[in-house]
Chains A and B, each alone.
Chain A
Amino acid sequence: MRLYRLLLRLYPTSFRHEYGEEMIRLFDERRRRAAGGVDRLGLWLESLRDALVTAPRVHLDILAQDLRYTRRTLARTPGFAVAAVVVMALGIGATTAVFSVADRVLLRPLPFEDPQRLVQVWESVPGYPLLEPAPVNYRDWKAMASSFDQLEAHVEQSVNLVRADPIRVDGAALTGGLLPMLGVAPALGRFFTEEESRHGGPDVVIVSDRLWQRAFGADAAILGTPLKLDDRTYTIVGVMPREFHFPDRTTDLWVPLTFEPSMFVDGDNNFLRVLGRLKPGATLEGARAEMEAVATALQQVRPKENAQTLAALRRLEDQVSWQSRLLLRVLAGASLCLLLIASTNLASLLLTRFAARRRELTVRAALGAGRERLTRQLLTESLALSLLGGASGVGVAYVATPLLARLVPTNLPVPDATVLDPRVLLVAAAVTIVTGIAFGVLPAWRISRGARTISLREGARGSAGGRERLRAALVTAQIAASIALLVATVLLARALGRVQSVDPGFQAAGVLTLRTALPFERYQTTSSRVRFYDGVLAGVSALPGVSAAAYTSFTPLIMRGGIWPVEMPGLAPQDVDVHTASLRFLTPKYFAALDIPILQGRDFSPSDTFDAPFVAVVSESFAKRYWPDGSPLGRTFTIAFDERTIVGVAGDVRVRGLEQTSEPQVYVPYTQVRDGWMPYYVPKDLLIRTAGDPLALVPAVRQIVRAADPELPVADIRSMEDVVALQTAPRRTQTAVLGLFAGMALLLAAIGLHGLLSFGVSQRRQEIGVRIALGAPRANVLRLVLRESAMLAVLGGVAGLALAYAAARGFDSLLAGVQPNDPWTYAGAAFVTVLVTLSGSLVPALRALRVDPVGALRAE
């Protein structure tokens, strides 16, 4: 018998409660009639089968009934239903969108085999903790270090893909073992062979899926096709899969990286990136120690170049900058705040609703619907609401994710976060269900506990007090969270304002920038390049509205490197790494094109030829560094292999970015370089200042470039205003998203407060009526309502400000000098708290004032 009772546990409690005894009696009766052991066994088997079959069906019956009931009650109060779904959609949508971005940047392992064993190895010298290794050091490391399975090198190598409509393609040259080391197989074809990876081997190329689609229409027969890159013809031997990105998200092709013997001569020829795979079981610390020993040994081998050179190791997955991480963490925190507010609002809404339905629920409880039955009913409702909200939330996330995608740094080898993948949807579903249960169970549990004790008498107060306390706590939490969000937003907005007001050193408005990279083999001689520049610049300068046009090695803010050591008598040779400058070769009128002021002396002129004295223009900071007192004009120093005389001083430019400190700048004429030297610095970026819309010039400029060299693509076309704006894009996105979150949170908090107070007023109608009837002044009634809201506001506000301060301390480094305890921001937030509280209390307070004492008492 006990066994049968146990079997009955399969059924829902309410069902068991209702019919359990009957079923036991029935079973008992049949058992008594059973003749022998065989019969009894049959009875047992039958009962077991019966329970297993019908118990789930009973559960489903109840679910179906609850759903029907939910649909009916929601249809009766569409306003509530819509409010609840919208609230949840916002909370879940925001969380999902932020997660889908954060997931790729912060959580997911890099999409390579065993990514935690992939380690970047850099040279490290005083002042430059992560310096690109020189080939000779790479070669020696590879020979000496034993912590690595493999040590491979790569280097960025952008090329012109020559065809009818030439395009500029970002690519990389890789040593032969690099792709196999990453452990991602090609989608088509193969990796580089041993022979292809050797110097002088055949020219082969592997292309990205994107380039394959874009330039070859995803032609499956692409292998073996010749491809003209710059002035050489390569053979396509492979296509990488769509999700493969290395080293950047923008890389579209890979060619073998080989070293001619001469490259191993110069130990200061720093241009490689080195990536290794640790041996299984080898630790990063162990590898660091070994590499330190190796680098120290190499200091003896090349005492001059390697005098202070050490090695620095960093896991590949740690290359996400702290700033990106922090931006995303702040957003993740904010979205959780919003989700919390949304969920507490849902709980609050449900509580109000249940309170309004208390009589109905009490009746049902009295009619024998047990506590479990009621809990189930209420849970079904809250789950249905949060599922509807979650489904809409996924829609919200679908729209919002691409907007957040710019928070993913492009230098990460991860796919774009513009799609919602199953993993993200799974998280959204989990969040939905957990909130649905957590914030549905809470009120359901309270209500059902109350339902057992409340009497049916009209107007009974029951356990309403306890519920109000809970709701008050929820509202306080909402106020606190929304104030914290508000403060964070304002602080970051002020930081954004600061960064945006930083003077880049040039006037961006009205300037167009684009890149025409000259293939070096064809343009080795200065004279060949001069022909090209003269042709293009003459054409462009003749365009209507154009006031100045010039070529430079690299546009500021886009290319931050290009740093060269400065030599002059009196500088200690071991300080060579401190005395560096950002070096640019220019055509005349560069300063006019960017509107960089010439403070002393002159700009370059066509007469600054190779045969004329070598000259330079330096930035103000450069002049101040070396000649703090006298005029720098006429002084000489050596840069880029030649001694040059200063003929001008220009204003400082923030080459490295608005938030970074830049090296002092040195500019030299494009003509004053020996043929075949310094290919990296050959001017390739064209800057055009125009009176009109810069982008309107593009078609004309394309034609001019095509006339000068039909094989040359025009790439990276942007207005300088966009270039400057891009500097603050992640900040702007973050601030806008946070602002949106804070706005929604404040709105939700006001709604929550309004709901709580309205409910309180309607609960205390009689009390208020009595007070008014007894002659209490209206002010006292008002105080009754406002006292409660003021208390919540003070509690929530103080908690919120404290929370905000703690958070702001955490992202101090994002604040660009704005103090995390900035008093005005906090005062403003406190003021907003008062506003929100007042707007939330207004209607309930008015309602309390309008209570008609006679009517209120009669209702009793």
Chain B
Amino acid sequence: MHIDPAEVESLLPLPPATFHILLALAEDERHGYAIILDVLSRTGGAVRLSAGTLYRSIQRMQEQGLIEESRRRPAPDEDDERRRYYLLTPFGAAVARAEARRLTQLVRLARESGFAPGKA
């Protein structure tokens, strides 16, 4: 699948919620509540996505082609029939990488100006 760099760039910078969701889906496909829990634990409790924010983001991300609903179901014993699982598309992964790159560059710039914590 061809990924257009311009299309990737056009989505940056990502809203924080979107970036967090992309990160949560990096390893595995998850359903909504799992995403919230993942973001919560990943940020040490600092970011708690509300239901509205989560699903609004999911809707936009689906329309932008960053994620899609999974057709594969998890193992039957842990599957909840009615739950919707989402997975990262290759395009979504590319966008997440591009955003990470953008943030890294920002941090580097901040560091050069003596703003960043850690090594000065």
Residue of B nearest to A62 (CB): B59
- B61 shortest CB reach to chain A, Å: 11
The smallest C-beta distance from A115 to any residue of chain B, in angstroms, reads 54
Interchain CB contact under 8 A, A19 and B58: yes
Of B1-9, B48-56, B71-79, B97-105, the stretch lying at the interface with chain A is B48-56
Residue contact A58 to B31, C-beta cutoff 8 Å: no
A9-29 interface mask toward B, CB cutoff 8 Å, 1 = contact, 0 = none? 001000100110111011101
Tell whether B60 is near chain A: CB-to-CB under 8 Å.
yes
* CB of B115 closer than 8 Å to a CB of A: no
Q: Assuming A27-B51, A54-B50, A65-B63, is B56 touching A22 (CB within 8 A)?
A: no
Q: Which residues of chain B have C-beta atoms less than 8 A from A55's C-beta?
A: 52
CB contacts (< 8 Å) of A65 on chain B: these are 63
Q: Which residue of chain B has its CB nearest to the CB of A27? A: B51
Dominant SS at the B interface? helix
Q: Which residues of A contact B56 (CB under 8 A)?
A: 15, 54, 57-58, 61
B55 near A51 with CB under 8 A, answer no
Determine the distance from Cα of A739 to Cα of B103 in the docked complex, in whole angstroms. 66
Per-position contact with B for A50-68: 1 when CB-CB < 8 Å, else 0? 1101110110010001000
Is B53's CB under 8 angstroms from A50's CB? yes
Q: Contact partner of B55 among A19, A46, A53, CB < 8 A?
A: A19
Contact indicator A22/B55 (Cβ below 8 Å)? yes
Q: A29-B33, A61-B59, A61-B60 are in contact. Are A51 and B83 (CB under 8 A)?
A: no
Question: Is B84 an interface residue when CB atoms closer than 8 A count as contact?
Answer: yes
Contact at B32–A22, with CB atoms within 8 Å? yes
On whether the beta carbons of A26 and B32 are closer than 8 Å, the reply is yes
A37 to chain B, nearest CB (A): 21
With A25-B33, A29-B33 given, is the CB distance from A54 to B53 under 8 Å? Answer: yes
Instruction: Output the nearest chain A residue to B82 by Cβ-Cβ distance.
Output: A21
Q: How far is the CB of B105 from chain A (nearest CB, A)?
A: 28
> Does A47 make an interface contact (CB < 8 A)?
yes
Question: B31: which A residues are within 8 A, CB to CB?
Answer: 22
- CB <8 Å contact, A51 and B33: no
B84: which A residues are within 8 A, CB to CB? 19, 22
| Residue in A19, A26, A46 whose beta carbon sits within 8 Å of that of B36 in the complex | A26
Q: Are A26 and B51 neighbours in the complex by a CB distance under 8 Å?
A: yes
How many residue-residue contacts, CB under 8 A, span A and B?
A: 52
Nearest B residue to A4 by beta-carbon distance?
B51
Name the A residues within 8 Å of B83 (CB-CB): 22, 25
Nearest chain A residue, comparing its CB with the CB of B31: A22
What's the Cα separation between A685 and B56 when bound, in Å?
A: 80
A827 to chain B, nearest CB (A): 59
The count of chain A contact residues (Cβ–Cβ below 8 Å) is 22
Chain B residues with CB under 8 A of A21: 82
Total B residues in contact with A, Cβ cutoff 8 Å: 17
A15 touching B55, Cβ below 8 Å: yes
Contacts of A61 in B (CB 8 A): 56, 59-60
- Which A residues touch B55, using CB under 8 A? 15, 18-19, 22-23
Q: How far is the CA of A29 from the CA of B33 in the complex (A)?
A: 9
* Cross-chain contact A18 with B59 (CB below 8 angstroms): yes
CA distance A18 to B58 in the complex (A): 11
Q: Cα distance A18–B60 when bound, in Å?
A: 13
Q: How far is the CA of A59 from the CA of B34 in the complex (A)?
A: 25
- CB–CB A19/B53 < 8 A: no
CA distance A54 to B58 in the complex (A): 12
Contact residues in A for B33 (Cβ distance below 8 Å) = 25-26, 29
Whether A46 pairs with B50 at a CB distance below 8 angstroms is yes
CB distance from B12 to the nearest CB of A (A): 18
User: When chains A and B are docked, how far (Å) is the Cα of A23 from the Cα of B59?
Assistant: 13
Q: Which residues of A contact B82 (CB under 8 A)?
A: 21, 25
Contact of B52 among A18, A25, A29, A54 (CB under 8 A): A54
Distance between Cα atoms of A26 and B55 in the complex (Å):
11
Residues 33-47 of A, flagged 1 when their CB comes within 8 A of B and 0 if not, give: 000000000000011
Cβ B52 vs Cβ A51 within 8 A: yes
Q: Smallest CB–CB gap between B36 and chain A, Å?
A: 7
Residues of B close to A23: CB separation below 8 A: 32, 51-52, 55
CB nearest to B33 among chain A residues: A26
**How far, in angstroms, from A57 to B15 measured CA to CA in the complex?**
14
Smallest CB separation, B56 vs chain A (Å): 5
Given A22-B32, A26-B36, A29-B33, residue A47 in contact with residue B51 (CB < 8 A): yes
How many angstroms between the C-alpha atoms of A36 and B55 in the bound complex? Answer: 27
B59 touches A58 (CB 8 A): yes
A50 near B50 with CB under 8 A, answer yes
Closest residue of chain A to B51 (Cβ to Cβ) is A23
> Complex formed: what's the CA distance from A55 to B59 in Å?
12
In whole angstroms, how far apart are the Cα atoms of A61 and B56 in the complex?
9
Chain B min CB distance to A71 (Å): 15
Interface string of B7-42 (1 = CB under 8 A from A): 000000000000000000000000111001000000
Q: Is the CB of B51 within 8 A of A53?
A: no
Nearest opposing residue in chain A for B58, CB measure:
A19
Query: CB-nearest residue of chain A relative to B53?
Result: A54
**Chain A positions 53-92 with a Cβ under 8 Å from a chain B Cβ:** 53-55, 57-58, 61, 65
When chains A and B are docked, how far (Å) is the Cα of A54 from the Cα of B50?
A: 9
Tell me the minimal C-beta distance from B78 to chain A in angstroms: 15
Tell whether A15 pairs with B51 under 8 Å between CB atoms, given A22-B84, A29-B33. Answer: no
- The contact of B59 among A15, A26, A53, by CB within 8 Å, is A15
C-alpha spacing A19/B31, complex, angstroms? 11
- A23-B82 Cα distance, complex, nearest whole Å: 12
On chain B, the residues within 8 Å of A25 by CB distance are 33, 82-83
Interface string of A394-407 (1 = CB under 8 A from B): 00000000000000
Which residues of the other chain, B, contact A26 by a CB distance below 8 angstroms?
Answer: 32-33, 36, 51
What is the bound-complex CA distance between A18 and B51, given in angstroms? 13
- In the assembled complex, the CB of B29 is this many whole angstroms from the nearest CB of chain A, namely 14
Which residues in A have their C-beta under 8 angstroms from that of B32? 19, 22-23, 26
| Contacts known (A18-B59, A21-B82, A65-B63); A50 close to B52, Cβ less than 8 A | yes
| Given A23-B55, A57-B56, 13 more pairs with CB closer than 8 A | A19-B58, A19-B59, A19-B84, A21-B82, A23-B52, A25-B83, A26-B32, A26-B36, A27-B51, A29-B33, A50-B51, A54-B53, A55-B52
Could you jot down 8 A-B contacts, CB within 8 Å? A15-B55, A19-B58, A19-B84, A22-B31, A22-B32, A22-B55, A55-B52, A58-B52
Residues of A whose CB lies within 8 Å of any CB of B are: 11, 15, 18-19, 21-23, 25-27, 29, 46-47, 50-51, 53-55, 57-58, 61, 65
Closest 7 interchain pairs by CB? A54-B52, A50-B50, A19-B55, A50-B52, A23-B51, A22-B32, A58-B56
